[in-house]
Structure 1
Amino acid sequence: MPSRQHPRFEELFAAGQARRQLCSRTSQAICSLASERDPVALVEATSAGRVPALVPLRYARMAASPFSFFRGLALVQAADLASQGHSGIDVQACGDAHLMNYGFFASPERNLLFDICDFDETHQGPWEWDLKRLTVSLVLAARTMGISDLTARGIVEAASGTYRRRMHDYSRMSQMDVWYSKVSHELLYNSAPSDHLRRHLEKIGERARNRTHLRLLPKITADNGATLRLKDTPPTLFHMHEADTLLPDGDQWLAAPDSLTMVAPMMEKYLSTLKEDRAQLVKRFRIVDMAFKVVGVGSVGTRCMVILLQDDYDQPLFLQLKEARPSVLERFTQPCVHGHQGKRVVFGQRTMQAASDLFLGWTTGPAGRDFYVRQLRDMKASVQLETFDAETLRAYAQACAWTLARAHAKSSGQAAMIAGYMGNSGKFADSMAQYSMLYADQVESDYDAFRRAIDNGRLPVDPSVDIGPFGSKPPRN
């Protein structure tokens, strides 16, 4: 960190302190709820526009635990947060910064970084909304793991304290230094507080480095003698050429025999959003196959395809074409300024991440739906919370808070104001802990209402779903 203080630091720091007159730090502990709030009705509302046949799968994944329910419904917390006061300091927010939306991935230089990795909900919004999304997820994860509330509160305080300290560090750095700062796998490994955590990081690093397109090829493709084809592994990956796919009329192009021909104009639009050198690289590949892929919890039912491409040497490139819907923050802040939801996602990712996917771009589908495009799985890995103990969760929470502070400082240029608002004491962390414990109780109450709606038949679920309490497949022994 540079020794010379930013020339406007004192002025900006004081401006942040002044924000406490509008919204005190202690008021951040308040857990107010949106008026006329019906969590089940909100669940149903967020299913509108999704592929109808996949909505029961979405509900089944959300039903795994209160933590999974929280993952699948960012809109509820956004509405609740919008009903109370905030600091008034806006950043490019993630919009869904729960602890499973962080992970490891390769930079264009093939260095392994740790960062936020999901930007479907990114939008302008108050910085503390992201932090509250993270801290509530920590409490819910801790409870799912059988960790006491006293320990969970300590984990939230540690994460909030890390966010505050890192933001103070970034507030004294130049904008260029903040822009180029990174949280690497090596940095986390070297600063890990225990051998147990270092072993976790070592395994994650090894898993990420092995997840290349070439290694992925035999796992999700099959050779039919003439060409490669993506393997059907429903309900997560499948072709949609059958007559009974239950696709809405606007999606019939996905099930058409000539769907690859119809996706060609989308690829042309996508190439126009890339830098010229990267577009030239993609042009050296030909489209071989495309299949529908179900991902995550909150994204289930949105249009998401995997496209297999190969170069002249038959080496693979896997691209993911993912539908971009309006951010859950938009209705509570300001309209999207980008004119395209895919562009919004790409802008947010490029602005917040330390380094972004080489092939990140956007396009529009035949039915006028917005999409963004990225690589599938290339050197990407996330943690397996089922293997964590309280100490590991605490350290991971601090790593997430660190990279969230870096992302907010980079995206907004307002690190000194945010630091000024939080101050130098533990008052803000205490408020975050109080809020998170109260709101986790509310999430569990909402989850109970959700489960009752399933039990009485109001919400249909897919009975074949087999996932763990964190909304993903449990790790193999």
Structure 2
Amino acid sequence: MSVSHPKYEQHYADGKARRQDCSRTRQAECSLAKDRDVLALVESTSQGRVPTLAPLRYARMRVSPFTFFRGMAMIQAADLAAGPDSGISLQICGDAHLMNYGFFASPERHLVFDINDFDETHPGPWEWDVKRLAVSLVLAARSRGFAAEDAHAMVQRLASTYRRRTQVFSQMSQLELWYNKVGFEQLLSHATDEAMRQQLLKVADKARSQTQERLLPKMTESEDGALRLRDNPPVIFHLDEPGSPLAACDDWLGADSVAKVGGMLEHYIATLKEDRRELLQRFRLVDAAFKVVGVGSVGTRCLVLLLQDDYDQPLFLQLKEARASVLEPFTQQCVHGNQGKRVVFGQRLMQATSDLFLGWTRSDDGRHFYMRQLRDMKGAPALETFASAEELASYGQACAWTLARAHAKSGGCAAEIAGYLGQSDKFDLALADYAQAYADQVERDYQLFDAAVASGRLPCAAQVK
């Protein structure tokens, strides 16, 4: 596309004009929600979850300010809503922190790098995603013991990458943008740090090994000649186990759990495209078990389903509860009628390519869910593997690159965002200042949370699994 096209020029000018209402330097403001009560927010996000898993959730959040930040997207959403924004809204991730990116397989079995968690996806200002990513980068840098000036420089590089990539994406046609992917080889070729290159290679190798066949011996065991998912409470357990975390406090699905899971599976299959429905109908449900996942999702209802075809080859699916997005109270009501459908819509719209088996369903008690493959060639670096500030900075830039692509694809307004950002580093500097200031606030919030755990107000497991 020619960048001199009058429509492009108009969209770019519209974005530039938005600086009059919200200058780029205002993006440094660290606003806080009115009547802010951190502990009340923490407790509110536990409502509706499995009560006996709350101590495990709080234990995972208590590891560090970074894990607390991961587990409480609601707090920053409320604070961002109280602050300035550019006025350009689109479908955003809603929880675009550093650990929600990684490699996974495209339907063609190629490794791509993209956002991999869309539980909070919802319409909102694009910069909310960028700010969540930036703050997570500062918190990650602090947890690794890197200098404050290094963390500040990391965010500047992240912002510059987002700005420059958005400019490139704004000059693409809509079809070219729709087909654009950040592939493994492409990402590797842009890694300037050798240690970062080696880490990418290691993570990619791990991702390639995460196949359904290799999961089978890790996830299952034989019982009376039939396969059964292996229990590892409180992380994985069967719903009908007398001593399971759900037994004493939660009758979700009740005694006839297998039949009810089968009904949810049938509703899910109906949401898939015709060829994928045909494929899924060639599998039979063998077993289902509750699986605790992540940090922010602990306590929500999640299942692993084991299916097999006529040759007893496996397919692992994950059924995950979808609650209302943390952005919804501050933006607009969900329009999809099912929170699982909201997640699927946002994921398909933002990702370059999505899981073949991505769909949604509901349970008889009115809960909403989405479904996808479990660990299909998925891999991401662990925070503790970043040995240098340069490695972490490079990874932050990779995340910013794919976030810019996701925003350009989901909103169709990359030219307007590019016009707002401009060619200078004003936004870069503002974002770096905001990220440092808000990371300080997160650490203060964490101290309140930690004290509430120590006092017994919030129950906490003795060990984290």
TM-score normalised by the chain length of structure 1: 0.95
Partner residue in 2 for 1:474 = none
The answer to whether 1:95 aligns with 2:94 is yes
* Corresponding letter in the other structure for 1:72: G
Distance 1:79 1:313, change over 3 A: same
* Corresponding letter in the other structure for 2:200: L
Match of 2:260 among 259, 262, 275: 262
* Corresponding letter in the other structure for 1:434: D
Secondary structure of residue in 2 paired with 1:8 = helix
- Give the distance between the partners of 2:115 and 2:436, measured in 1 at CA: 23
Partner residue in 1 for 2:412 = 413
Partner residue in 1 for 2:291 = 293
Q: Given that residues 239 and 257 in structure 2 are in contact (C-alpha distance below 8 angstroms), is that contact kept between their aligned partners in structure 1?
A: no
**Which deviations, in whole Å up to 9, do the C-alpha atoms of 1:388-437 show, x marking residues without a partner?**
12111011000000000000000000000000001100000000000000
1:246, CA displacement in angstroms?
A: 5.7
* Corresponding letter in the other structure for 1:315: Q
Q: Given that residues 234 and 244 in structure 2 are in contact (C-alpha distance below 8 angstroms), is that contact kept between their aligned partners in structure 1?
A: no
Match of 2:342 among 341, 344, 355: 344
Q: Given that residues 51 and 248 in structure 1 are in contact (C-alpha distance below 8 angstroms), is that contact kept between their aligned partners in structure 2?
A: no
Paired residues for 1:356-375 under 5 Å: 356-375=354-373
Partner residue in 2 for 1:399 = 398
Q: What percent of counterpart residues are identical?
A: 63
Paired residues for 1:245-324 under 5 Å: 245=244, 247=246, 252-254=251-253, 256=255, 258-324=256-322
* Corresponding letter in the other structure for 2:308: Q
Distance 1:69 1:253, change over 3 A: closer
Partner residue in 1 for 2:82 = 83
- Give the distance between the partners of 1:5 and 1:115, measured in 2 at CA: 30
- Give the distance between the partners of 2:46 and 2:152, measured in 1 at CA: 33
- Give the distance between the partners of 2:246 and 2:130, measured in 1 at CA: 37
Distance 1:426 1:187, change over 3 A: same
Secondary structure of residue in 2 paired with 1:193 = coil
Distance 1:232 1:245, change over 3 A: closer
Paired residues for 1:82-231 under 5 Å: 82-231=81-230
Partner residue in 1 for 2:384 = 386
- Give the distance between the partners of 1:242 and 1:210, measured in 2 at CA: 31
RMSD value, Cα? 1.3
**Which deviations, in whole Å up to 9, do the C-alpha atoms of 1:172-204 show, x marking residues without a partner?**
111111111000011011121022111111111
- Give the distance between the partners of 1:262 and 1:140, measured in 2 at CA: 42
Secondary structure of residue in 2 paired with 1:252 = coil
Partner residue in 2 for 1:46 = 45
Q: Given that residues 241 and 254 in structure 1 are in contact (C-alpha distance below 8 angstroms), is that contact kept between their aligned partners in structure 2?
A: no
Q: Given that residues 71 and 297 in structure 1 are in contact (C-alpha distance below 8 angstroms), is that contact kept between their aligned partners in structure 2?
A: yes
1:265, CA displacement in angstroms?
A: 1.4
* Corresponding letter in the other structure for 1:370: H
Q: Given that residues 290 and 308 in structure 1 are in contact (C-alpha distance below 8 angstroms), is that contact kept between their aligned partners in structure 2?
A: yes
- Give the distance between the partners of 1:313 and 1:6, measured in 2 at CA: 56
Q: Given that residues 121 and 329 in structure 1 are in contact (C-alpha distance below 8 angstroms), is that contact kept between their aligned partners in structure 2?
A: yes
**Which deviations, in whole Å up to 9, do the C-alpha atoms of 1:127-173 show, x marking residues without a partner?**
00000000000000000000011000000000000000000001111
5+ residue gaps in structure 1? 467-477
Runs of 4+ in 1 over 4 A off after TM superposition: 2-7, 248-251
Partner residue in 1 for 2:26 = 27
- Give the distance between the partners of 2:304 and 2:83, measured in 1 at CA: 40
1:262, CA displacement in angstroms?
A: 1.4
Q: Given that residues 3 and 9 in structure 2 are in contact (C-alpha distance below 8 angstroms), is that contact kept between their aligned partners in structure 1?
A: no
5+ residue gaps in structure 2? none
